[in-house]
Homo-oligomer: A and B are copies of this chain.
Amino acid sequence: MCRIDTNYDDTMTEQAFLDGYNPHDFPVVLVTVDTVLLTWHEEQLKVLLVQRASHPELGKWGLPGGFVNQAQDHSLEASARRSVAAKTNVEPPYLEQVCTLGSPERDPRGWSTAVVYSALMPHCASTPFVESVANTQWQPVNQLAQLEIAFDHRQGIETAIERYKQKALYSFVPVFALPELFTITDLRKVHEALIGTAIQRKSFIRRAEASQMFIDSGDVRSERGRPAVLYKAKPAIGGYRFVRNIEL
């Protein structure tokens, strides 16, 4: 059978069972929580990676995260938020669970699982305070092939990006990778980077208007050409869905 519960006895109370239960009697599965933190910066999608300063996989680039801290973490999401805050000193405006990886081979320390979260946030300087010697950097996702990635974190990154690609087709969730004020063209470029094709400007603007999820800030941004209106997103934008997907 599946459960390895021992000492099965119909007449035993739950308390008596728990008194006799020691989790160290069983083979241990290691549990980490790691986060794929993405942002939009310099016309590119970038992911925050940490160069590992300890074994195993020393020197390779990995996702921020680590073992659940039983003293501090009251949930998996709390663990993800803690490790993001440690690297960026910022609360990400969008965070979701992506997948859980697990096998006996992925970590040399033994059978392990990584609960992978993903967050989107405005670009900020990484590691604004020096708390560790670890090298933390925003890496362009298009150039990850040239980096040595620790464990199976490359798979976690790919799964997260694939998820956002789907979301880019039916929602404005990618907006959370932008600063508070952004232009519709900024947002369209993020969507285009995710789905890998151009989107008609008119179509994208129509969707934005139909959603009623964008507030005209009153400001504009002028670089080359006609100035672009800067918008803010309503908080409910994360829940908005198109009825019709962007076509590929």
On A, residues with C-beta under 8 Å from B are 1-5, 8, 12, 14, 17-18, 21, 23-24, 26-31, 53-56, 58, 64-70, 74-76, 82-83, 86, 97, 99-104, 108-111, 113, 115, 131-132, 134, 170, 241-245, 247
Contact across chains for B58 and A14 when beta carbons are under 8 A apart: yes
Contact across chains for A111 and B64 when beta carbons are under 8 A apart: no
5 shortest A-B CB distances, which residue pairs? A2-B66, A17-B55, A3-B66, A76-B102, A29-B31
Q: How far is the CB of A248 from chain B (nearest CB, A)?
A: 9
Contact across chains for A75 and B97 when beta carbons are under 8 A apart: no
Among B2, B18, B82, B102, which residue has its beta carbon within 8 angstroms of that of A83? B2
Copies in the complex: 2
Contact across chains for A113 and B115 when beta carbons are under 8 A apart: yes
Contacts A31-B113, A113-B115 known; 4 new A-B pairs at CB < 8 A? A1-B86, A18-B109, A70-B111, A76-B102
Contact across chains for A68 and B115 when beta carbons are under 8 A apart: no
Task: Tell me the nearest residue of chain B to A16, going by C-beta.
Answer: B55
Q: How far is the CB of A216 from chain B (nearest CB, A)?
A: 28
Contact across chains for A103 and B82 when beta carbons are under 8 A apart: no
Task: Give bound CA distance, A102 to B116, whole Å.
Answer: 13
Task: Give bound CA distance, A134 to B24, whole Å.
Answer: 26
Contact across chains for B55 and A18 when beta carbons are under 8 A apart: yes
A4-B100 contact given A14-B58, A31-B31, A243-B247, CB 8 Å threshold: no
Task: Give bound CA distance, A30 to B21, whole Å.
Answer: 12
**Given the complex, which residues of B lie within 8 Å of A69, measured CB to CB?**
2, 4
Can you report 18 residue pairs joining A to B where beta carbons are below 8 Å apart? A1-B132, A3-B54, A3-B67, A4-B67, A5-B55, A14-B55, A17-B56, A18-B55, A29-B30, A31-B31, A31-B113, A74-B103, A74-B104, A76-B100, A76-B103, A170-B170, A170-B245, A242-B245
Listed residue (A31, A69, A103) with the most chain B CB atoms within 10 angstroms of its CB: A31
Q: How far is the CB of A87 from chain B (nearest CB, A)?
A: 9
A111-B68 contact given A28-B23, A99-B97, CB 8 Å threshold: yes
Contact across chains for A82 and B2 when beta carbons are under 8 A apart: yes
Contact across chains for B26 and A67 when beta carbons are under 8 A apart: yes
**Given the complex, which residues of B lie within 8 Å of A66, measured CB to CB?**
1-4
